[in-house]
């Protein structure tokens, strides 16, 4: 009886132990991949957003100084649309915070490029920028909390 018990214990230690260790290692690797993916997506979102806002600020300044021709405006508008599209692909319009960011970056872009022939007020787009920025900070805060829970 003792030899059978010793045999079962040995088999369990040799076979079951490594299988459990392998399963734990797989789960850990999966969670680390999820954390890394979330961290990278946050970094990419922040980079795209900051590039978009910086681009609007430069365009806004050029426009306010009267340095923006129609040709330059159309090129800058095309670039702004590309950046805006990149951001919209990163965000989920079904989520409230994401939708607030998307709506306000669109409105900020519209304010900078609207009415190129009219008298320009360089401050009209800032409210949308601040609203989008605050919503993005809330979104990133939630993502950071999810990452912290996974770590």
Q: What is the pLDDT of residues 4-32, one digit of tens each?
A: 777 777 777 777 777 788 888 888 888 78
- pLDDT (tens digit per residue) in 76-118: 778 888 888 888 888 887 888 788 888 877 887 777 776 554 5
Structure token pair of residue 36: 């890394």
Rounded CA-CA distance 67/29 in Å is 53
* For range 51-64, the mean pLDDT: 78
Percent of the chain beyond pLDDT 90?
A: 0
State the pLDDT at residue 101.
80
State the pLDDT at residue 74.
74
Please tell me the least confidently modeled range out of 19-23, 44-48, 54-58, 109-113: 109-113
CB under 8 Å to 77, separation ≥6 — which residues? 113
The distance in angstroms from the start CA to the end CA of the chain is 46
CA distances to 23, 45, 104, 136, 139 from 142, in Å: 29, 14, 19, 10, 5
Give the pLDDT band (50/70/90) at residue 128.
low
Q: What is the mean pLDDT of the chain?
A: 76
State the pLDDT at residue 123.
59
pTM: 0.61
Q: Angle formed by the axes of helices 96-113 and 126-150, to 10°?
A: 150
Task: Give the CA diameter of the chain.
Answer: 97
Rounded CA-CA distance 94/90 in Å is 12
CB under 8 Å to 59, separation ≥6 — which residues? 68, 73, 76, 80, 112, 113
């Amino acid at each position: 009886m003792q030899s059978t018990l010793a045999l079962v214990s040995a088999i369990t230690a040799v076979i079951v132990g490594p299988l459990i260790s392998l399963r734990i290692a797989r789960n850990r690797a999966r969670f680390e991949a999820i954390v890394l993916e979330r961290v990278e997506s946050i970094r990419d979102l922040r980079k795209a957003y900051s590039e978009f806002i910086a681009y609007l600020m430069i365009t806004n300044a050029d426009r306010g100084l009267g340095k923006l021709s129609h040709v330059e405006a159309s090129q800058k508008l095309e670039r702004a649309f590309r950046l805006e599209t990149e951001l919209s692909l990163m965000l989920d319009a079904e989520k409230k915070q994401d939708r607030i960011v998307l709506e306000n970056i669109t409105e900020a872009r519209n304010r900078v490029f609207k009415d190129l022939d009219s008298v320009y007020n360089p401050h009209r787009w800032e409210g949308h920028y601040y609203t989008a920025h605050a919503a993005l900070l809330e979104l990133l805060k939630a993502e950071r909390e999810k990452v912290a829970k996974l770590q």
